Amino acid sequence: MSRNAAVVGIGEVPVGKFPDRQLLDIAITVAEQALEDGGVDRKEVDTLLMAPCFADPWFNTDLGFARLVDELGMRATVRLNAQVNAGGSTGAALLKVAVGLVESGQSETVLCLHAEKFTNLSGQEGFDFFAKAGIERDFEAPFGMAYNAIPGLTAERYMYETGTPIEQLAEVSVACREWASLHPNAMFRKPMTVEDVLASKVIASPLHALMLNMLGDGGSAFVVTTEDRARSLTETPVYVWGEGDVVSTYSFAQHDDITRMNWSVAGDRAFQQAGVTPEDIDVLEIYIAYPIFHLIIMEELGFCARGEAGALVAAGETRPGGSLPTSTNGDAMSYGHIGAGVGVATLVETCRQLMDKAGERQVPGASIALKTAAGGAYSNANVAILGREPR
């Protein structure tokens, strides 16, 4: 007997460098925010699912050993305490697992959360971490592969094939920054221009520093329960309409076409399951951490034709007030990169828009949203379509 699940509550702490903020403080804060937001009593939670923490291996280990069950006062009421790790796709995986557990009747109320503290690492330790995390260890790392070269290689090929100018990649950073300037929890909120982006140092050609992202500390959480329970708890439950996912390869250079990846396959699956088309999407929440992939995703998901996304962004259509509001939390370039949790935060932002709780950056009347996630060397392409009403 299948039943519907819904997201009922969300929580999030500010992203940035907060050396004095402990990981447990982040985890407890976002958990309690999400429970309070959804009107859920902590004793109702029977399932606790956690994203990985990359920068503190011992905190990460503790999560699997039920540390948060004690810290959150959930002894004996939680029946499943488990980590879900799909790298940058963890937000998508958490949603899928939580909804599946609720809809199959195995769980009544699932709390999903993430906490990360990259200030535990120095800048160089961060570069070294991401020279291994998501990088083919045996046959790519020995050449000096750096994570930022992934979007660099992609952009070089994409610009060659489509004729897209570098200025249009800069426009993506600028549009995301404009959204982030309206987001109290974003790491970088100072408005910037295309000229600023192009004046920043080239890090991995053809990409400038302001087309990349900065590691930060942060965390977020969400609560999933049954549709029946959701209706008694909140005016604004959020429902999953459709999902499309592809897992391809561990090794970046093994993608058949780095300028397309598998986004059209994932998108087609999600649109088909949701029974909608790109024209129906009110807000597009891309988490992909680099401007080049914004353009690719917009095209491959059918929001515009191949090679036209850059002009769409340059025309302001993805900015506040545009026809295709995109990445309203600023994506990792402006929101800050909090490891496995950017995708969780993007899901939280998606729900926030559909709950009409996004404050200054609320997209008026947003009722259907599409969100993306990806992990590793873009091993995953995850698309989910969510709605304000049950499908």
Partner 1 sequence: MSLSNAESLSAAYAAGFWEAAERGVLAIQHCETCGEDQLYPRRRCVTCGAADLTYRPVSGLGSLYSFSTVLANAPSDFIDEMPYTLAIVELDEGPRLLTRIDSDDPAALRCDMPVQCVFRERDGATLPYFVPAAGTDGGPA
Provide the binding-site residues for partner 1, judged by CB under 8 A.
Answer: 124, 127-128, 131-132, 136-146, 148-149, 152-157, 160-161, 201-207, 209, 249, 251-254, 258
Closer of 75 and 201 to partner 1 (Cβ): 201
Q: How far is the CB of 154 from partner 1 (least distance, A)?
A: 7
Q: How far is the CB of 134 from partner 1 (least distance, A)?
A: 13
Q: How far is the CB of 329 from partner 1 (least distance, A)?
A: 24
Task: Calculate ∠ Cα 112-114-119, nearest 5°.
Answer: 175
- Could you tell me which residues come within 8 angstroms of residue 48 by beta carbon, excluding any fewer than 6 positions away? 68, 69, 72, 74, 78, 80, 81, 82, 110, 111, 113
Q: How far is the CB of 282 from partner 1 (least distance, A)?
A: 35
Instruction: Name residue 271's amino acid.
Output: F
Q: How far is the CB of 144 from partner 1 (least distance, A)?
A: 4
Closer of 258 and 355 to partner 1 (Cβ): 258
Q: How far is the CB of 336 from partner 1 (least distance, A)?
A: 16
Give the C-alpha distances (Å, rounded to integers) separating 172 from 266, 301, 311. 22, 17, 10
Instruction: Name residue 49's amino acid.
Output: L
Query: What does the DSSP assignment read for 23-67?
Result: HHHHHHHHHHHHHHHHT--GGG--EEEE---SS-HHHHHHHHTTH
Give the C-alpha distances (Å, rounded to integers) separating 280 from 36, 75, 127, 241. 31, 44, 40, 12
User: Could you give the CA distance from residue 159 to residue 163 in angstroms, rounded to a whole number?
Assistant: 5
Closer of 130 and 263 to partner 1 (Cβ): 130
Closer of 255 and 391 to partner 1 (Cβ): 255
Closer of 143 and 231 to partner 1 (Cβ): 143
What six digits make up the tokens of 15?
């992203």
Closer of 270 and 295 to partner 1 (Cβ): 295
